[in-house]
Amino acid sequence: MTVKRIIIVSLLFLSSSLICAQEAKKVENLPKFDLAPKHFGFYLSGNQMFFVLKPTEGFQQMMWNRDQIPDLVGDSACVYGIEPAPIPGFSIGIVSNLRLGDYFDLRFLPGLQFGERKLTYSIMLYNKGDSSLVFIPKNVNSTFIDFPLYLKYKSKRDGNFRAFVTGGFSYKFDLASSTKAKAENATEVVVKLNKHDFTGDLGVGFDFYTVYFKFAIELKMSYGFNNMIFSEGNIYSDSMGKLSTKMFQISFTFE
């Protein structure tokens, strides 16, 4: 073996030895954190709220008279399409965690969720023998009081890192877009939502143990079970047969 090869092998051996030594000396932060029967914290989240929309059967053939289109100038109208779109929002809340075992926790995370969604209606408007296609946007605001209950499954801790998945259900009460929502003026029609919703939630994330606290990042998806549309007999509400909620959320948790 040449001197050059001996030097290279020696350097590789020395480097690997140093890495192993550093790993051996690596300090495990908060070693007894997960042994506590319960602990608390808070979370901050960014979210996107969506609508899952199912139009009323045969809605494109339904004609709406003047009384059913108070914010449009025309004799009658029909809906050609409805396009939902999300608008970014945010959430804040409290974390309460109950230890069930080495790999399972029960978590209750009450909080507030602020968000908005947009519905764009494509409407064919008829007025005195003339017809025109108009696009009417309707913004729907929501402020949910959220009461989720989750089961958390944690992987085995690796140093200061741990992966996890969460799953469970949530009850939501909408303070903003409720049946009592009012328009800004007498002719404007507001798309109203029912107050109560139940969702099934599924999340995946990672725990990071720092010197003073545990920090987590989680990506969560929520799917609503209830029909949220509040029917008022107008072109906007009754052209939708079912309107359910969906939300994507990225959370930053401090415990």
Check pLDDT > 90 for residue 246.
yes
Q: Tens of pLDDT along 171-222?
A: 999 988 655 555 555 557 788 899 999 999 999 999 999 999 999 999 999 9
Rounded to whole angstroms, the Cα distance separating 141 from 182 reads 12
Using pLDDT thresholds of 50, 70 and 90, give the confidence band for residue 6: very low
pLDDT, averaged across the chain: 86
At 11, is the pLDDT very low, low, confident or very high (cuts 50, 70, 90)? Answer: very low
Mean per-residue pLDDT for 16-27?
51
Cβ distance 115 to 146 under 8 Å?
no
Residue 21 has pLDDT above 70, yes or no: no
Q: Higher pLDDT residue, 252 or 62?
A: 252
Q: Above 70 in pLDDT, residue 27? A: yes
Quote the pLDDT of residue 181. 52
Domain formed by 37-254, architecture: Beta Barrel (2.40)
Residue 86 contacts by C-beta under 8 Å, 6 or more apart in sequence? 48, 49, 50, 115, 117, 118
Least confident of 82-96, 123-137, 155-169, 173-187: 173-187
Check residue 112 and give its pLDDT.
Answer: 96
Candidate ranges 4-8, 126-130, 151-155; pick with highest mean pLDDT: 151-155
| Residue 9, pLDDT above cutoff 50 | no
44 falls in which pLDDT band (50, 70, 90)?
very high
Q: 0.85 exceeded by the pTM?
A: no
Distance of CA 193 to the CA centre of its chain: 18
